[in-house]
């Protein structure tokens, strides 16, 4: 074995950093959307208190964790899943697949259809979180990009879309 140099997989630090920033922002945006948007609020109301989900990239991250605390408030819970009880674990199989998703070359639905993700958790939770992620994308992204990320771009009122977008960006940046 000494005759051969061991080849290890590249770390791809720039891609990982990009995905980590996106996950960090999406996590905080979900927290904000749960306070601002009626549909996101409703989706989380149906989930049990203490519910936690993790979205991340195999094999070693980055991750984001979002959950409801015991008072029912939705919180971004950081980027370390270690030691947390995760009810719904959504893992993208590798960083290249994550880049396809987070550069919106591939929608969440297309990524699922192409087996890019490993999901562990109850199916109704998966459906609810996919809907939340879709709504989050519509708020965060301009229409011409969001149309690539979701199956159907919703026909929202001006107030919901633009005022909601400003409020969610504001809350995401400030983290409340």
Partner 1 sequence: MYLSGYYEFCCRVKMIAGHDALEKIPGALAQLHAGRPLIITDKGVSGAGLVDTVVDAIKDGIDIGAMADDVPQDSSVKVVNHLADVYRDNNCDSIVAVGGGSVMDTAKGVNIVVSENADDLMKFSGVGVLKKALKPLLVIPTTSGTGSEVTLAAVIKDHERHLKMAFASYFLLPDVAILDSRMTLTLPPFLTASTAMDAMAHAVEAYTGLAKNPMSDANAIAAISLISSNLLNVIKTPSDREGRLALANGATLAGAAFSNSLVGVVHALGHATGSVCGVPHGVCMSILLPYGLEYNMHKRAHFTGELLLPLAGAEVYVGTPKHLRAEGTVAYIRKMNQNMHDATDGRHARFFEEVKDRDGRRMVPREKLEDIAEAALDDGSIVYNPEECDYEDFLMIIRAAWEGAPLDRSLIKGV
| 98's tokens | 């994550």
Q: Which of 38, 71, 143, 152 binds partner 1 (CB under 8 A)?
A: 152
Q: Which of 150, 164, 171, 172 binds partner 1 (CB under 8 A)?
A: 150
Is there binding between residue 173 and partner 1 (CB under 8 A)? no
Instruction: Please report how close the Cβ of residue 77 comes to partner 1 at its closest, in angstroms.
Output: 23
Contact yes or no for 172/36 (Cβ under 8 A): no
The partner residues of 24 in beta bridges, in order of sequence, read none
- By DSSP bridging, strand 88-92 and strand 52-57 are parallel
d(CA 19, CA 4): 33
Could you say which DSSP state residue 48 is in? P
Contacts (CB under 8 A) with partner 1, residues 112-141? 112-116, 118-120, 123-124, 126-128, 130, 134
Q: Which of 151, 163, 170, 173 binds partner 1 (CB under 8 A)?
A: 151
Question: Could you give phi then psi for residue 2, rounded to 5 degrees?
Answer: -65, -20
Contact yes or no for 100/22 (Cβ under 8 A): no
Residue 56, H or E segment = strand 52-57
Instruction: Please report how close the Cβ of residue 134 comes to partner 1 at its closest, in angstroms.
Output: 8
Is there binding between residue 96 and partner 1 (CB under 8 A)? no
Is there binding between residue 45 and partner 1 (CB under 8 A)? no
Q: Which of 17, 21, 49, 109 binds partner 1 (CB under 8 A)?
A: 109
Contact yes or no for 134/108 (Cβ under 8 A): yes
Instruction: Please report how close the Cβ of residue 21 comes to partner 1 at its closest, in angstroms.
Output: 25
Binding part of the chain for partner 1, among 49-57, 59-67, 107-115, 159-167 by CB under 8 A, reads 107-115
d(CA 84, CA 34): 21
User: Where do contacts with partner 1 occur on this chain (CB under 8 A)?
Assistant: 109-110, 112-116, 118-120, 123-124, 126-128, 130, 134, 150-153, 155
């Amino acid at each position: 074995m000494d005759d051969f140099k061991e080849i290890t997989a590249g770390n791809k630090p720039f891609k990982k950093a990009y995905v980590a920033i996106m996950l960090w922002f999406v996590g905080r945006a979900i927290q904000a959307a749960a306070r601002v948007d009626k549909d996101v609020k409703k989706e989380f109301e149906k989930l049990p208190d203490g519910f936690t989900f993790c979205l991340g990239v195999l094999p070693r991250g980055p991750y984001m964790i979002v959950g409801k605390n015991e008072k029912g408030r939705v919180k971004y819970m950081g980027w370390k899943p270690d030691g947390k009880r995760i009810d719904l674990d959504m893992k993208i199989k590798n960083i290249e697949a994550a880049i396809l998703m987070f550069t919106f070359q591939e929608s969440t639905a297309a990524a699922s259809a192409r087996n890019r993700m490993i999901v562990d958790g109850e199916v109704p939770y998966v459906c609810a979180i996919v809907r939340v992620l879709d709504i989050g994308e519509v708020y965060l992204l301009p229409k011409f990009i969001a149309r690539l990320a979701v199956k159907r771009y919703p026909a929202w009122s001006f107030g919901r879309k633009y005022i909601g977008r400003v409020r969610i960006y504001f809350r995401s940046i400030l983290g409340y």
